[in-house]
Each structure stands twice: as structure tokens, then as C-alpha cells.
Structure 1
């Protein structure tokens, strides 16, 4: 059915975009609270990976079904659809899309912004170093249970500098999303960087056919400011219908395609 939507111009943008937004919002409502806990209250350097050993009993990640279900879906989507988890299921992507609705954001990429695409890999490397080499230290003590935001403020007062640095970077890069569209997702997300490494090996994707004339209209339509099957493509489908040559397809990419 998805291939048919890609092949029929009258259904492209409206149907795919509404489906994408609906699924993304539903996923945010389901796991968004866990995302907040991971960013603002997780006691470990790397959030979302040590939930079974976490003393924050109010965190949704304490539920085994939530924890293993999330990682099971994450891995399955990575194998079949590359970075589609980012574009369809990640609460962070939803937050960045909301931030991008403001009237002060840049239209095209600001000058030199492509030079910082390595930053997400640096974030991934830092996370792996903390997780494996440093033994995933707890840098958020003492822990307090109570209302969420008052607990965050108390945590900030007593946390170690490494935790405070992580929070400042997270909030700071998210704030940059008010000007540089999808800043966190494109340049800082370590989970997105991990998916980026396996994206090219996934089974299904949006891709360009050889008829592509590099007009870049698909890039202008894309919140991630990329083109189908290129770096940072999250298979969201926003580019569908933007191509004047009708050369965007979805499925298994034939060998030799552009």
C-alpha cells in the first residue's frame, strides 16, 4: 500500500504526512514520559540503557515490558527501515518538529552547518565510552522522589558535574532547534548516530531513481534538510510529492540506483 501511495501523486503528501504525524504523536504519548525521565532524572551518564538497575522507581523504564519492548522495536525498525524510528516513533523528533514551527528558524541550512554533522558521532562515542569504559557511573545522587520538576531542581543542586554537563548540552542543543531546524536530531542525538551507521544496510527505504536531476526540492521539503537515502534521512516521507521528476520511490533499493 505504501508503494501505491508513493506512486500516486494525489495521495502522497496529505496521506503520508497525516499518518506520520499521527503515529509520531501516539508514540510520544506512549513513551514521552520515559524520555523526560531519561533527559532530566536518569542517574546514569547514558540514559535508557540501565533501567533495570535504576533506583528512580517512578520512571516508566522500570517496567520490563517498556524497556525490552522499546529496544526490541528499535532494533527491528533499524534492520528493516533504517532511521525510521527517528522519523516515526521518537518523542525527540516530535519535540524538534514542534520547535521548528516557530517563525525565527532558518529556511535553508545556515552557512557551514553541514560541517557539524560529525557531532552526533562524537556524542555516540562519548556515550559508548561512559557506558563500557567507565562502567556507566551514577552521577545523579542523592535521588529524590516527588513531583517531577521540583525533583529535577533538587537533582541539579546535588548532581555531579558530569550529569549537569549532560543536561546543559541536551537543553542547549534543543534550544538551538528554534533557529537551526531539527538541530538535536541532525547533529547531536547519539541514538540517531547509531541508526545512521546501519541505515545504508536496511531493507526498505525511500530512495531516488536515476531520473533525479539534483534540483533539491526534496531537501527543501524535508525537516531533516536531506534527500532520500542520504545522511539523516529518517524515512518519514515528507519528500514524497515534492519531486518534479517523480523519481522518489519506497521499497528495496535496486542496485545501481542513484
Structure 2
């Protein structure tokens, strides 16, 4: 079911994701679509834009970071690429690197609210999609090129380090990570957990249920030899 929902979501959100990464003139994509001059971007449609963020908020309230594990096209891309990832990070790095999401979040908030969400490339308003991407790169500022290259580097790193972007750098994931502790439902483990890490080995985010970077995707539900992983309202 998780895979069906993810691939279905890709049909609706994939184009917007490509626009946000490769053609959005703003530093922080997906949040200033109502002021964007690129008329072919799906985010310019009010019902699409507000509907997306409304659904995003509802999911966050009820299921925490489940958007990352069930709907995000970037999460799907990372999940696919993670099949090739074999590099295992030291335990110290696995504990420290997830804080990178919050650093990226702080930078995004600074760019959005303090700097004023500047346009850092010349928006190519119309034209064939891939040709427009080439023109965007030709006319973008160094700051936009750095932003886009940074995302691409993290996505490429996912070939070696599973879901590197989602785990260590995504600012939207950082927002959801902060608020998921208040969500109503989640995948969680009970006190019967022996830390055998069967769940972590099955997880593309390389984490345990209800811990840092858990996206409630459910991949771990049938992996526990002690049947201590459940989904629902966690008892206090």
C-alpha cells in the first residue's frame, strides 16, 4: 500500500517537485508560488497550492512525519536510490548528522523571512521544460546554483548513504521532525524491544520506530521477532 500511494503521489506532485528544484526562481521553493512568474508551474494554481499545504498540515497533525514516508516525491526518489546504498555510518555520525536538517531549516527561514525570499535566477516563464531548465542554469546567480547543487549532491549521496537528503538535510523534514512528537498516531515500539535492530535494517531511513527520522512508512511492522512494533495511538 505504501508503494502504491507513493507512486500515485508522484503523478500529482512530481512535476511540481521538478519545477521547485530546477526552475523555481526563489531560494526556498514551494512556499512563494502565488508570487511566482513561471506561469506553467502547477503551484501557480491556487486550489493546488492551498490544497497541498492543507493536506500537509492535516497529515502532520494526525501522523507526524508520514508525509515524508507516504507522499513526498523526493522521499520516493530516495527510497528507490537507497536500494544501492551500502555504506554504513558510524554510530556517532548517525546521532549527529540528523541535526543538519535543523541547520538547513534555519537557513531556509532566514532566506524566507529575513532576506525576503529573493529571486536568484531569471525566471524562464514559458517554453519546453528541459530546454527551460538549461536556460535557468545559464542565467542563475551563484547563490541559486549553490542551493540547487547542494540538493543534487545530497540526492546523489543517497546512492552510498541511504536517504542522505531526507535524513540529514531536508528542511521540510526538519519541520515535521520537530512536530511529530505531538502527532496523534504513529508507528512505535513497546518496552519489549531488545534493540536487535531488525527494524533498522529494513528501514530505508536507517532508524527505529518513533525515533529520529522515523517517517511512519510501516516497512518495519512485520520485521520484529518480538512483535513489539505497532501502529496507532501510543500509550503514555
Partner of 1:200: 181
Partner of 1:65: 47
Partner of 1:235: 216
Partner of 1:15: none
TM-score normalised by length of structure 1 = 0.88
Residue 205 of structure 1: how far off its partner (Å): 0.4
Deviations 1:61-87 (A, max 9, x none): 111111001100111000000000000
Residue 110 of structure 1: how far off its partner (Å): 5.2
Cα distance change on mapping 1:172 and 1:69 into 2, 3 Å: same
CA distance in 2, matches of 1:200, 1:28: 27
Partner of 1:174: 155
Contact 2:24/2:123 (<8 A) preserved: no
Contact 1:99/1:177 (<8 A) preserved: yes
Partner of 1:101: 83
Residue 185 of structure 1: how far off its partner (Å): 0.7
Contact 1:144/1:155 (<8 A) preserved: no
Partner of 1:151: 132
Matches within 5 A, 1:41-190: 41-102=23-84, 105-106=85-86, 108-109=88-89, 112-114=92-94, 115-190=96-171
SS in 2 for 1:212: coil
Residue 109 of structure 1: how far off its partner (Å): 3.4
Q: Which runs of 5+ in 1 are unaligned?
A: 1-18
Kindly tell me the number of residue pairs found equivalent between the two proteins.
235
Residue 113 of structure 1: how far off its partner (Å): 3.5
Q: Which runs of 5+ in 2 are unaligned?
A: none
Contact 2:16/2:42 (<8 A) preserved: yes
TM-score normalised by length of structure 2 = 0.96
Question: RMSD in angstroms over aligned alpha carbons?
Answer: 1.2
CA distance in 1, matches of 2:159, 2:123: 33
Deviations 1:184-228 (A, max 9, x none): 111111100000000111000011111111111111111100011
Residue 107 of structure 1: how far off its partner (Å): 5.7
CA distance in 1, matches of 2:80, 2:195: 29
Residue 143 of structure 1: how far off its partner (Å): 2.6
Deviations 1:47-102 (A, max 9, x none): 00000100000101111111001100111000000000000000001111121233
Contact 1:44/1:138 (<8 A) preserved: yes
Contact 2:37/2:123 (<8 A) preserved: no
Contact 1:119/1:187 (<8 A) preserved: yes
Contact 1:43/1:140 (<8 A) preserved: yes
Residue 35 of structure 1: how far off its partner (Å): 0.3
Cα distance change on mapping 1:152 and 1:79 into 2, 3 Å: same
CA distance in 2, matches of 1:70, 1:96: 21
